[in-house]
Amino acid sequence: MNAIIQSFESWVNEHKVIIVGLDNAGKTTILYQFLMNEVVHTSPTIGSNVEEIVVKNTHFLMWDIGGQESLRSSWNTYYSNTEFIILVVDSIDRERLAVTKEELYRMLAHEDLRKAAVLIFANKQDMKGCMTAAEISKYLTLSSIKDHPWHIQSCCALTGEG
């Protein structure tokens, strides 16, 4: 009986997270920062880059999805049952912020993600001349997003700051 209860608990406590963003934004580095901080548990990569982290008995299945242009059209195959989207932005890459914006709104409009909350990481804050989280927020017009909970956080994936 205990085993059944335990497996039920781990089932209800499991949350699917997708980590998206353009190539070179720092997605994989961020995923491994999470794994290093939450030393509790990792499971090996299944197919694409997926890892499980456990925080206070809550399991997060973290899908790190490739961001190259050729791969972005298949992002939607990962969407079902996703509760959290982590969008990683390279804060030094001003040129491609427009592309990120396009991809963000395409995701938010997707039926399978209508209940998902979005965390935007303004990554690479250690780089000289990078955009601040406020600048990125303004450019991405985050304040216009009313149908999804969202939050923007500046960070440096190399050090784990933020």
Query: Has 159 been labeled as part of a binding site?
Result: no
Alpha-carbon gap, residue 120 to 108, rounded angstroms: 13
For this structure, is 68 an active site residue? yes
Q: Is 128 annotated as a binding residue?
A: no
Residue of 18, 20, 26, 154 interacting with ligand G3D (CB under 6 A): 26
Residue 48 contacts residue 66 (beta carbons within 8 Å): yes
* 28 forms part of the interface with Mg ion (CB under 5 A): yes
Query: Residue 64 in contact with residue 47, Cβ under 8 Å?
Result: no
Find the binder of ligand G3D among 17, 18, 25, 133 (CB under 6 A): 25
Q: Is 66 annotated as a binding residue?
A: no
> What is the C-alpha to C-alpha distance for residues 36 and 30, in angstroms, rounded to an integer?
10
Which residues are catalytically annotated?
Answer: 68
Binding positions for ligand G3D, rule: CB under 6 A = 21, 23-29, 67, 88, 123-124, 126-127, 156-158
Interface with Mg ion by CB under 5 A: which residues? Answer: 27-28
